[in-house]
Chains A and B, each alone.
Chain A
Amino acid sequence: MGEMEQMKKEAEALKTQIEAARKAACDTDMASAASGVAPAPRVQLKTRRTLKGHLAKIYAMHWSTDNKLMVSASQDGKLLIWDSHSGNKVNAVPLKSSWVMTCAYAPSGNLVASGGLDNMCTVYNLKTPVIKTVKELDAHTGYLSCARFLSDTEILTSSGDTTCALWDLETGKQKTVFLNHVGDCMCLALSPDMNSFVSGACDSLAKLWDIRDGQCKQTFQGHTSDINAISFYPSGNAIITGSDDCTCKMYDLRADQEVIGYQDAALNSGVTSLALSVSGRLVFAGYDDFNCNIWDSLKGEKVGVLSGHDNRVSCTGVPVDGMCVCTGSWDSFLKIWN
């Protein structure tokens, strides 16, 4: 068909144009630009807490904005709310479906959410005398890989059905559906200014979306396998991704390209999760090989390792005040380090 041929040609021409524009902007790389910066100190963190309570693999964890409470999700069919300072469990939420893949804490502290192979995002109110399910968000046609609250009235989800969605928690309906990935969406991260978010998918691409108009603004390539983890750099101008290709990458949003990679020939396990310290200097990346490696984000060098789990590190998180890092594992434990 003539029309298809024309569109293929235009698509190729546009891709070439984009690559040329990126190349023209590529006058250096992050490591070279940071060559004058003093190396980050060797980071040796100790386990301060080992949180025991789950009976099966932990798949996700998320800090509350109060820097003390956190929620974890395990395929033992429970969400546990922990007081990280005392190490005590504050609440247990039994899940209808034990095949959970994600959990989230609302910024207000009032709500938590979970989801997984049931294709739904379930939202719970922690503040009622007995914890109540307040909404079951049911419209995705694939598993729920990640959820993040914008507020008590809006939540973002990513799904194995290749879409992300913004939901209204009052109506329980999708307000906006973000369509562009061609592989399962595995992770999402909200920008510090809450106007945009990024998603990582099994098509090995990361995409930047405008939350309000639903538009995909930028696409970042370079990974050669599924992107399992994604995070915004604290300035809001860059993102960091972690992939099954065993590498992490930093992409700058304004330069629209990769500026540094975090990899080591000796590392041949996929990256499952990542979290940044508050200045953005340290990247904590969880791997399938049971470790969490610590990278200097500016220089691309490994500056430490968190060893202690007896199985894959599946999730990591740094609270807003940056006082510690939490790792969660298939060994059923969470550890807090600083």
Chain B
Amino acid sequence: MSNNNASSSSVAVAQKAVKQLRIEAKMRRINVSQAATDLKNFCLQNAHKDPLLVGVPSSDNPFRPPKSCGLL
């Protein structure tokens, strides 16, 4: 004699899993070569604006102490 509550909830779980897989299966995928090229180009085009990559000159670095005190 099966436990109706347990089996109907596992049916619901399985239905949900199948529904989700159907959504994911429908997706149109692009080739990794295209994806990688786009990621690479984005990186290279933005490299010059990346302070951690190109370095921060000390005059522009808010975390470097100023060389002289302007108060006196």
Is B67 among interface residues, defined by CB-CB distance under 8 A?
no
Question: Which 10 pairs, one residue from A and one from B, show the smallest C-beta to C-beta distance?
Answer: A33-B36, A48-B63, A279-B46, A14-B21, A279-B50, A252-B35, A255-B35, A235-B42, A7-B14, A277-B52
Q: List, sorted by A's number, 16 A–B pairs whose CB atoms are closer than 8 Å.
A: A11-B17, A14-B22, A22-B29, A30-B32, A34-B40, A216-B23, A218-B24, A235-B42, A237-B38, A257-B29, A277-B53, A278-B51, A279-B47, A281-B53, A322-B51, A323-B62
Is A27 among interface residues, defined by CB-CB distance under 8 A?
yes
By a CB distance below 8 angstroms, the chain A residues around B51 are: 277-278, 321-324, 338
Chain B positions 34-71 with a Cβ under 8 Å from a chain A Cβ: 34-40, 42-44, 46-47, 49-53, 56, 61-64
The interface stretch among A36-44, A117-125, A143-151 is A36-44
By a CB distance below 8 angstroms, the chain A residues around B36 are: 28-30, 32-34, 252, 259
Chain A positions 284-338 with a Cβ under 8 Å from a chain B Cβ: 297-298, 318, 321-325, 336, 338
A87 to chain B, nearest CB (A): 9
Pair B39/A30 contact, Cβ less than 8 Å: yes
Is B33 among interface residues, defined by CB-CB distance under 8 A?
yes
Please judge, given known A-B contacts A85-B63, A322-B50, whether A338 and B32 are in contact too, CB under 8 Å.
Answer: no
A336 to B15, CA, bound (A): 49
Pair A281/B18 contact, Cβ less than 8 Å: no
Pair B46/A255 contact, Cβ less than 8 Å: no
A305 to chain B, nearest CB (A): 14
Is A136 among interface residues, defined by CB-CB distance under 8 A?
no
Is A26 among interface residues, defined by CB-CB distance under 8 A?
yes
By a CB distance below 8 angstroms, the chain A residues around B53 are: 40-41, 43, 277, 279, 281-282
Pair B42/A85 contact, Cβ less than 8 Å: no
By a CB distance below 8 angstroms, the chain A residues around B20 are: 180, 216, 219
Our pick among A17, A27, A28, A279 for the contact of B25 (Cβ within 8 Å) is A17
Pair B25/A252 contact, Cβ less than 8 Å: no
Pair B14/A11 contact, Cβ less than 8 Å: yes
Pair B18/A14 contact, Cβ less than 8 Å: yes
Is A131 among interface residues, defined by CB-CB distance under 8 A?
no
By a CB distance below 8 angstroms, the chain A residues around B24 are: 14, 18, 217-219
